Amino acid sequence: MKIVDNTALRQVEEEERLRPIRELQEKAALAKKKEAEEKALIVSVPCDWRIHGELEPLTKAIWDFEVNELRKGYLKAAIKNRKSLEQLVVEPFETESYTISVKYDQETINVLKKESSNLGLSVDEYARYILYTTALKENTERKEKLKQEEEKKEALRKFDFNGQINHELRKKLTDKFHDPIEERKEFGFWIDASKSYGEFLVAVANEYFGIKNKDTN
């Protein structure tokens, strides 16, 4: 009687049976690795109400998809110009309302990793503080500019004078400057005597208070 050893045959059969499973596992592992590599290239910034409050005036649009693109664009610009910031402002940020995600190349990610590591931050934290500080700075400058424009507008605001000027004051103003009523008689009705007296009073007030070279319009 002879012995028939099927061990090797069964091993081959087992290998054949397991081959599709192993191929699927390898594909899954490769896909997972690729996903991890892709994820590592993405900078994600969680935005709470505080960041949204600074970002919203700078990324207004009609449609939601436009707002999302504007937010991404603003984050990219902020990161690109991060060297212009003198400091990073950190606040006690709260639960996120939404997240802004931007994909970069490996070289840029490496640079951001190095810079963030020097500050003891993760790349996402670094990007978050850059975004908030940039938006805060721009809004502060914008508000200051608007304030200056309003102050300038207020400084140049014109107030019409509708009061009465008695004879004695009118004579003193006429002696100091000239007589607009006589001018009106001479040159015609286009001379506004009331306006002239108002300008005289402003000139006297400026002289009294030592205000020079000021636009009174």
Cross-strand pairs, 46: 99
What was the pLDDT predicted at 198? Answer: 83
Mind listing the pLDDT tens digit for each residue in 172-198?
A: 888 998 887 776 666 655 567 777 888
What was the pLDDT predicted at 48? Answer: 96
- Contact at 8 Å (CB) between 89 and 12? no
**Model confidence, pTM:** 0.69
Distance CA 82, CA 134 (A): 8
Neighbouring C-beta atoms of residue 83, cutoff 10 Å: 6
What was the pLDDT predicted at 42? Answer: 96
Q: What are phi and psi of 179, to 5 degrees?
A: -100, 105
What was the pLDDT predicted at 185? Answer: 65
What was the pLDDT predicted at 161? Answer: 67
What was the pLDDT predicted at 106? Answer: 94
Q: 68: buried, middle or exposed (CB in 10 Å: 19+, 13-18, 0-12)?
A: middle
DSSP sequence for 25-84: HHHHHHHHHHHHHHHHTEEEEEE-HHHHHHHGGGS--SSHHHHHHHHHHHHHHHHHTGGG
To 10 degrees, the CA torsion angle through 175, 180, 185, 188? 160
Q: In a structure prediction context, what are the per-residue pLDDT tens digits for the chain, which is 217 residues long?
A: 788 888 888 888 888 888 888 888 888 888 888 888 888 999 999 999 999 999 999 999 888 889 999 999 999 999 999 999 999 999 999 988 999 999 999 999 999 999 999 999 999 999 999 999 999 999 999 999 999 999 998 888 777 767 788 888 888 888 998 887 776 666 655 567 777 888 888 899 888 888 875 554 4
